């Protein structure tokens, strides 16, 4: 069962690159990478094996994001307590899917196996109040990596969930 829902990522789309001021949890400056739109001109060499540079680019929709976790119950509690995610469906004993109340792609929570130690996922989630979500994340076992401020007044923080997956918590300006 798939939950296909649109993902709204308008940051940087069609706009020039933005400069971000970033600091880590100790207030020290960290390198921030600015987002900018990518435009295809049809002049670059194709990596798809297409016979024609004039063919339209394929399109896609993010349906789900995979995250490798320790235990499924603990991961469901973490993402439920911090972002309101709710269990949707089990795909066997080692995979659960959770969805968010406001939509967006679901999270595929995969119990780490012996060969998955180094596997991690990452995603960005928009919230109404970064500070509240950040505090809830830390209270539920997340570790802060760095905080960012955009020129448009947006604020975000990168945290690692208890299993090492990177979550950027974004509040638009």
Task: Record the tokens describing residue 78, joined without a space.
Answer: 């973490």
Instruction: Give the pLDDT confidence score for residue 84 in this predicted structure.
Output: 97
Higher pLDDT, 56 or 115: 115
Measured over the CA atoms of residue 65, residue 103, residue 13 and residue 124, the dihedral's sign is negative
User: Per the structure block, which two tokens stand in for 126?
Assistant: 């928009």
Residue 37: predicted pLDDT: 36
- Greater pLDDT, 11 or 47: 47
Name residue 153's beta-bridge partners: none
Mean of pLDDT over the chain: 78
Residue 66: the pLDDT is 96
What share of the chain has pLDDT > 90, as a percent? Answer: 62
Q: CB–CB of 107/97 below 8 Å?
A: yes
d(CA 85, CA 89): 12
Q: How confident is the model at residue 9 (pLDDT cuts 50, 70, 90)?
A: very low
The length of the chain in residues reads: 173
pLDDT of residue 32 exceeding 50: no
Could you give the 3-state DSSP secondary structure of residue 133? Answer: helix
138's tokens: 């830390």
**Is pLDDT of 19 > 80?**
no
Burial of 14 (0-12, 13-18, 19+ CB in 10 A): exposed
**How sure is the predictor about 53, in pLDDT bands with cuts at 50, 70 and 90?**
low
| Tens digit of each residue's pLDDT (9 = 90 or more) over 157-172 | 999 999 999 999 999 9
Counting Cα atoms < 13 Å in the Cβ hemisphere of 2 gives 9
**How many percent of the chain have pLDDT more than 70?**
69
pLDDT tens readout for residues 77-103: 999 999 999 999 999 999 999 999 999
DSSP strand pairing (155-160 vs 166-171)? antiparallel
Q: What six digits make up the tokens of 152?
A: 């448009």
């Amino acid at each position: 069962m798939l939950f296909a829902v649109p993902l709204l990522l308008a940051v940087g789309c069609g706009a020039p690159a933005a400069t971000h001021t970033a600091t880590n949890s100790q207030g020290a400056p960290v390198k921030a990478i600015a987002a900018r739109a990518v435009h295809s001109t049809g002049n670059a060499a194709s990596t798809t094996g297409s016979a024609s540079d004039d063919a339209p680019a394929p399109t896609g929709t993010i349906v789900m994001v995979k995250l490798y976790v320790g235990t499924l119950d603990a991961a469901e509690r973490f993402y439920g307590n911090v972002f309101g995610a709710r269990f949707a469906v089990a795909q066997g004993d080692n995979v659960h899917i959770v969805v968010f109340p406001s939509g967006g792609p679901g999270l595929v929570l995969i119990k780490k196996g012996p060969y998955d130690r180094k596997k991690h996922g990452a995603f960005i989630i928009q919230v109404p109040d970064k500070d509240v979500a950040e505090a809830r994340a830390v209270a539920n076992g997340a570790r802060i990596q760095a905080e960012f401020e955009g020129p448009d007044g947006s604020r975000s923080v990168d945290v690692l969930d208890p299993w090492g997956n990177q979550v950027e918590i974004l509040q638009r300006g």
